[in-house]
Amino acid sequence: MNAFDFRAPRTLDEALGILAEQGDDGRAIAGGTALVTMMRQRLLRPACLVSLREIAGLDRIQAANGALRLGALVTHREAETAALIRERLPVLAETFRSVGSVRIRHMATVGGALAHADPNQDPPVTLMALGARVQSRRAGGDRELPIDEFFRDYYQSALEPGELVTGVTVPLLPPASGASFVKFLPRTADDYATVAVAAVVALEPDGERCREARIALGSVGVTPLRARAAEALLRGERLGEPSVRAAGEAAKGEVDPLTDHRGSAAYKREMAAVMVARALRQAWEAAQRAARGRPDAGAPR
Amino acid sequence: MTFTQECVIPVERARLWEFLMDVPTVGRCIPGVDTVEAVDGNAYRGGLKVQVGPIRIALEGTITVEEQDRSAWRARMRAEANDRRLGGGIRARLSLTLVPAEIGTRVQIDTDLAVLGKIGEFGQPVIKRKADTLLEEFARNLRAALVA
Amino acid sequence: MTRAVRLTVNGTPRELEIPTYRTLLDCLRYDLGLTGSKEGCGVGVCGACTVLLDGKIISSCIALAVFADGREVTTVEGLAEDERLHPVQQAFIDHGGFQCGICTPGQVVAAKALLDATPNPSDAEIREWMLGNLCRCTGYYKILESVRGAALGARP
């Protein structure tokens, strides 16, 4: 790695100040799992690393106003094991649990994962299906972006230079709805997905028709993406095998996967259809259970 | 990887051809190119900077004009450039063809691109997207330069 | 650029002046002579570099040494007490949980961390926890047996 200046500010505003000073030369670091790996490969050579690890108050998990809020410095492991998340949004805990290995999850943070903007990551997929909102701060002040607008390109988020993620707000599921996360991993258990799908299905009060579906996919484009055509197909429909499969096929047309060692673009496209259908089936079953007033049996094992 | 790109420039073909065959001038229209200098008759040395998220790629190399056929409105070029810091590079063969369009001229670029080393790990669609973005901006700069 | 780092390693306070780019693994091996932790892949995947940072297993090859400032690091060298091997170490010997030994320090540290948190893990829990520690020799069967054995052995 290159030689670099290392700063460890104690407040967020101090960190922002240093980043503003350093401009292009500075980068924020939290868990470092992605950043240090890239620096070791000489893909990045920041002259100054600004560690966020000593900043207090960014690692809270709270519930308020029908949503959960995760601070940017919450680690994947904390998100995976937090009772609040396991009980109220088990699909999110499950998703964090699927990332890499325990060692990675002990260091990698929620904010870092969002800022890294790698389309192969899992948490953004579920956060997108859940309609999360990302909070960030820069010198000019705070702002909040719907996660649908947060990812711009490969490794590129909407964050401006010197801007830091401060947290993410995740709405709880509405009544009569269910969620699922499907990670297709044909190779090793700790890898990124070949295709990942998160689905949320909300049913009409009668528990029969789909009021709304949200389908997000990872590893099938330069950013995580929503399969809006597939979602539109399901709106107002009585769900069943035919509609779930049709949605899977529709999703195929909305993805633009990259060929890599986890699969060819063509294979990922085919698997996107399969996994979308699988995720929808699971989410729909969970929604039906919720509609009938039964506790969600889809809780993490 | 091979791919074809197109852009339409609202300038008539002969004038566009003259402009495009002036490599140093054309180089200045390509986003991320700083200098292009002639090495000998057909070869030029230059650099191209491209960014993939936070990763900065700085390619240094040569472009050689292998064939210029004005009667067929076609030119062929070969490019070789490396990023010594990252340890990777590109090898490309390009074929440029000018065809009259409804307004002005359609430029068709056929590229055969090999991406080597670390840069190659980004995967083809990312590279293709970068090439598309480059072409869009190149076309904008061309139009600005020519349509005074 | 160097930085002063104060950390506790295997219970002993240490103070070092090290380059900022030093990984925790390199610091342990070269600055502190604790060569038990190994570099296998260099990208945090294989687990040969597993150490505990404030009791949590991490990949030390992708952690900056400066992250350990003010914190506690435990390596495989810190598991035995005086002349007595840690129950996990003893179990790996008793059950044949290693062949060449290169992954073993990481396996042992990871297993210790598992049993600290979950003294009686199911097979599924052992597998999920340990999946990030790769082994080229054993096929993992004996590693699993060793961890099971350590869990059983530790029960009163």
Nearest-5° angle of CA C54, CA C59, CA C60?
A: 75
For chain B, which residues score pLDDT lower than 50? none
Question: In this predicted structure, what is the pLDDT of residue A260?
Answer: 84
Is position A301 within any domain? no
Chains A and B touch (3+ CB pairs under 8 A): yes
Residues A89 and A152 in one domain: yes
Which of these, A148, A126, A162, A156, lies nearest to A25 by C-alpha position?
A162
Structure tokens at A107: 């260091």
Q: Which domain holds residue A25?
A: 5-50
Q: Is B84 on the interface with A (CB under 8 A)?
A: no
Distances (CA, A) of A76 to A119, B18, C115: 17, 58, 21
Q: Which segments of chain A does DSSP mark as H helices, in order?
A: 12-22, 33-40, 76-81, 83-88, 90-97, 102-107, 110-116, 123-129, 228-234, 241-252, 265-291
What is d(CA A254, CA A228) in angstroms, rounded to the nearest whole number?
Answer: 8
Question: In this predicted structure, what is the pLDDT of residue A259?
Answer: 82
Contact A32 C1 (CB under 8 A): no
Q: Which amino acid, residue C74?
A: T
Contact C69 A8 (CB under 8 A): yes
Question: In this predicted structure, what is the pLDDT of residue A301?
Answer: 38
What is d(CA A48, CA A26) in angstroms, rounded to the nearest whole number?
Answer: 5
Contact A209, A237 (CB under 8 A): yes
Is position A166 within any domain? yes
Contact C44 A104 (CB under 8 A): yes
Contact B124 A38 (CB under 8 A): no
Q: Is A136 on the interface with C (CB under 8 A)?
A: no
Is position A298 within any domain? no
Given CA atoms C57, C62, C65, C66 in this order, what sign does their dihedral have? negative
Residues A222 and A153 in one domain: no
Kindly report the number of other CB atoms within 10 A of residue A192's CB atom: 19
Contact C77, C34 (CB under 8 A): yes
Q: Is A104 on the interface with C (CB under 8 A)?
A: yes
Which of A220, A258, A260, A261 should be substituted to probe chain B, the one whose Cβ sees the most B Cβ atoms within 10 Å?
A258
Average pLDDT over residues C37-51: 97
CATH number at residue B14: 3.30.530.20
Which of these, B44, B63, B60, lies nearest to B119 by C-alpha position?
B60
Is position A56 within any domain? no
Kindly report the number of other CB atoms within 10 A of residue C40's CB atom: 19
Chains C and B touch (3+ CB pairs under 8 A): no
Which of these, A101, A102, A130, A85, lies nearest to A299 by C-alpha position?
A85
What is d(CA B131, CA A238) in angstroms, rounded to the nearest whole number?
Answer: 44
Question: In this predicted structure, what is the pLDDT of residue A206?
Answer: 83
What is d(CA B41, CA B65) in angstroms, rounded to the nearest whole number?
Answer: 9
CATH number at residue A106: 3.30.465.10
Taking only the tens place, the pLDDT of each residue in C74-109 is 999 999 998 899 999 999 999 999 999 999 999 999
Residues A16 and A87 in one domain: no
Distances (CA, A) of A149 to A110, A131, A176, B118: 17, 11, 27, 30
For chain A, which residues score pLDDT lower than 50? 297-301
Question: In this predicted structure, what is the pLDDT of residue C156?
Answer: 47
Q: Looking at residue B48, what DSSP letter applies? A: E
Contact A27, A46 (CB under 8 A): yes
Question: In this predicted structure, what is the pLDDT of residue B28?
Answer: 87
Which chain A residues touch B53 with a CB distance below 8 Å?
117, 153-156
Residues A188 and A264 in one domain: yes
How many helices and strands (H and E) does chain A possess?
A: 11, 14
CATH number at residue A16: 3.30.43.10
What is d(CA B142, CA C147) in angstroms, rounded to the nearest whole number?
Answer: 67
Residues A143 and A198 in one domain: no
Given CA atoms A272, A115, B50, B10 in this order, what sign does their dihedral have? positive
Measured in degrees and rounded to the nearest 5, phi and psi for residue A215 equal: -125, 120
Contact B123 A258 (CB under 8 A): yes
Q: Is A145 on the interface with C (CB under 8 A)?
A: no
| Percent of residues in chain C assigned helix, strand, coil, to nearest 5 | 40, 20, 40
* Average pLDDT of every residue of chain C: 96
What is d(CA A299, CA A88) in angstroms, rounded to the nearest whole number?
Answer: 9
Which of these, A259, A178, A172, A163, lies nearest to A211 by C-alpha position?
A178
Residues A254 and A203 in one domain: yes
Is position A300 within any domain? no
Could you report how far apart the first and last alpha carbons of chain B are, in Å? Answer: 36
Residue B122, exposed/middle/buried by CB under 10 A (0-12, 13-18, 19+)?
A: buried
Last residue within a domain, chosen from A125, A151, A171? A171
What is d(CA B31, CA A41) in angstroms, rounded to the nearest whole number?
Answer: 26
Number of domain units in chain B: 1
Nearest-5° angle of CA A46, CA A52, CA A56?
A: 170
The gap from C-alpha A189 to its chain's centroid, in whole angstroms, comes to: 18
How many helices and strands (H and E) does chain C possess?
A: 5, 5
Assign C155 a pLDDT band (cuts: 50, 70, 90).
low
Q: Which domain holds residue B95?
A: 2-146
Contact B123, A154 (CB under 8 A): no
Structure tokens at B72: 């067929």
Q: Which domains does chain C have, with CATH numbers?
A: 2-78 (3.10.20.30), 87-154 (1.10.150.120)
Instruction: State yes or no: ipTM above 0.95.
Output: yes
DSSP 3-state of C60: helix
Residues A11 and A91 in one domain: no
Which of these, A170, A157, A77, A167, lies nearest to A116 by C-alpha position?
A157
Number of domain units in chain A: 3
Contact A33 C59 (CB under 8 A): yes
Q: Is B86 on the interface with A (CB under 8 A)?
A: yes
What is d(CA A114, CA A118) in angstroms, rounded to the nearest whole number?
Answer: 8
Residues A74 and A156 in one domain: yes
Which of these, A159, A161, A139, A140, lies nearest to A149 by C-alpha position?
A159
